[in-house]
Structure 1
Amino acid sequence: MLDWLLDSDPAIRWQVLRDIADAPIDVVAAERERVATEGWGSRLLALQGEDGQWAGGACFPERRLYLSVKNEGQPWISTLPTLQLLHDFGIDPRVDRVRRAVEAVRDGCRWEHAGEPFFSGEVEPCINGRIVTLGTYFDQDVDGVVARLLGEQLEDGGWNCEAENGSVRSSFASTINVLEGLLAHERATGGSAESVAARRGAEEYLLERKLFRRKSTGEVVDSAWLQFSFPTQWHYDVL
């Protein structure tokens, strides 16, 4: 099994060396650097457009491309899901090629909602939570997004993208996206008393529901959550 995992893309191999093979730190670091120059990571970086975006959009591809595949659902090839993949691959954010790509996103990518700069976030907590994760990882200022999320936490401890439409009950999916972002930001910056309290409230929201069950009945909320998938995008599962 170990040999099979090591005979793979650098995005997998460096994490296997770190987490399973207990390889020396310098060996792990050298393999991680290859994510930006070989295999999946390098291919994704090469697909970035001159406008700093992937597929011409922030959350969705540019209109012509999106309409051509709309009946097949979201194709997940735009800037947000691509940066999420690079993050999940563990691409080294300090590598020059990666830094230049992220700076191009910062300077050129705008949200479909109202033209907001990418790392300023938009209106949906499930998106803004991921922006906090990505901004923290790629060394971008997302303090304003964190502040917005703290002000949008619902009474039950979580978040819901439908809150702007009147929902007062949290969503597992929105909550996990925000929770992961707050935790990443807290680990990187130390957080604040308010952000730590919000993060703990979100954890309690999920724990009260045993991570995937209805609080009222104990039933599994969605059987799809028991299936492990990658990439998860904004979706929730028990992992």
Structure 2
Amino acid sequence: MAVDPALLNWLLDSDPALKWQVERDLAGAPPEQWEATRARIRTEGFGAQLLSRQDPDGQWAGGAYFPADFDFNGPEAAEDAGQPYTATTWSLNALREWGLDAAVLAGTAEKLAANSRWEYQGLPYWGGEVDCCINAFTLANGAWLGADVSGIAQWFLERQLPDGGWNCEWVNGSVRSSVHSTINSLKGLLYYEAATGGSPKPRAARHRGEEYLLERRLLYRKSTGEPVAPWVARQAYPFRWFYSALNALDYFRAAALHDGAAPDPRLADAIGTVRSARQGDGTWVQERRHPGRVWFDVDVPGEPSKWLTFHGTRVLDWWDEGHSD
């Protein structure tokens, strides 16, 4: 990929959790190089810090989705306080997305089966619960760690709404999909499919969910054609559970590569949104730190972000290569 040398050098001067991905996807490094960098996640930087926080019982912060000391009636539970990102599910998400070898966490799946229960009705960890986003994270994390999460995969088929997407508020009667719930559901299904080989029905459900977003060109309300919300164009990493054009495009790139498909033309407007956010020096600025408790930050709001620059550059290169003719 034709990445400016100065920008590439800046990106390569990163934590191993990011550097190996830059080497593989932007620098075109040979496998032995980026695999060696990836192996360092266990012992260096962000990965090592997060691994050191794991509890003896396999959890992080003593809880499944919320830390054990979270007060659901206290100030941290206020709507504008965000949510904590220190508990087990969020910690596993980060380690998996950074590329940690699952073998490093050998035995964790079994410990979580024995010791971790969802805050919702005390349900067993690998059985999932009723929230689409939580179940999507658990589906991917279970596939990564070798847990049996086939029941969660089936759950997504049963909870897909008539319009093709998903909504975490289905349990409260919602029959219209949410872009947040849908992108997280799709990411979980894709990871599970890639890890297990997949089967026709989950794959068809994934494609229906993709169509829900593509019909809206990732940005607009189908009913009015107006933008979904201002936050669609927001540049923020980690993505967490929040929908954005970049988060969605990152998914559609991965799905197209998995399916051996070309970029869908309906992604063009979202690509334009991401392209317009790129600064003159080729970087993207971290616009927001999603509020909530974290073990540590991986970026600084208001400054050029190596994480966003990596994801933005990779998405645009994928799109541009698919339209080089």
Q: TM-score, normalised by structure 1?
A: 0.92
Q: Which moved more, 1:62-71 or 1:126-135?
A: 62-71
Secondary structure of the residue aligned to 2:22 is: helix
Alpha carbons of structure 1 residues 101 and 39: separation in structure 2 relative to 1, 3 Å? farther
Matches of 2:194 and 2:217, distance apart in 1: 24
Q: CA RMSD in A?
A: 1.7
Amino acid paired to 2:144: Y
The percentage of counterpart residues that share the same residue type is 48
Q: Is the 8 A contact 1:126 1:177 kept in 2?
A: yes
1:73 aligns to what?
Answer: 82
Shift in Å at residue 190 of structure 1? 2.7
Q: Is the 8 A contact 2:220 2:226 kept in 1?
A: yes
Q: Which runs of 5+ in 1 are unaligned?
A: none
Shift in Å at residue 58 of structure 1? 0.8
Shift in Å at residue 177 of structure 1? 0.9
Q: State how 1:67-106 maps to structure 2 within 5 Å.
A: 67=74, 69-71=76-78, 72-94=81-103, 97-106=104-113
Q: Which runs of 5+ in 2 are unaligned?
A: 1-6, 247-325
Matches of 1:64 and 1:131, distance apart in 2: 20
Q: Is the 8 A contact 1:52 1:107 kept in 2?
A: no
Matches of 1:54 and 1:74, distance apart in 2: 15
Q: Is the 8 A contact 2:20 2:37 kept in 1?
A: yes
Task: Summarize deviations over 1:149-202 as a string: whole Å, max 9, x none.
Answer: 111111000111111111111111111111111112222223222111111110
Matches of 1:98 and 1:211, distance apart in 2: 35
Matches of 1:205 and 1:159, distance apart in 2: 9
1:43 aligns to what?
Answer: 49
Matches of 1:237 and 1:29, distance apart in 2: 30
Structure of higher RCO (CA pairs closer than 8 Å, 6+ residues apart)? 2
1:61 aligns to what?
Answer: 67
The yes-or-no answer on 1:159 pairing with 2:172 is no
Q: Is the 8 A contact 1:45 1:101 kept in 2?
A: no
Q: Is the 8 A contact 2:42 2:100 kept in 1?
A: yes
Q: TM-score, normalised by structure 2?
A: 0.69
Q: Which moved more, 1:105-114 or 1:212-221?
A: 105-114
Specify which of 110, 124, 129 is matched with residue 131 of structure 2. Answer: 124
Alpha carbons of structure 1 residues 118 and 8: separation in structure 2 relative to 1, 3 Å? same
Matches of 1:125 and 1:78, distance apart in 2: 18
Secondary structure of the residue aligned to 1:63 is: coil
Q: Which moved more, 1:58-67 or 1:81-90?
A: 58-67
Specify which of 11, 18, 36 is matched with residue 17 of structure 2. Answer: 11
Amino acid paired to 1:207: L
Amino acid paired to 2:93: Q
Matches of 1:89 and 1:190, distance apart in 2: 22
Amino acid paired to 1:77: T
Matches of 2:49 and 2:109, distance apart in 1: 15
1:21 aligns to what?
Answer: 27
Amino acid paired to 2:184: N
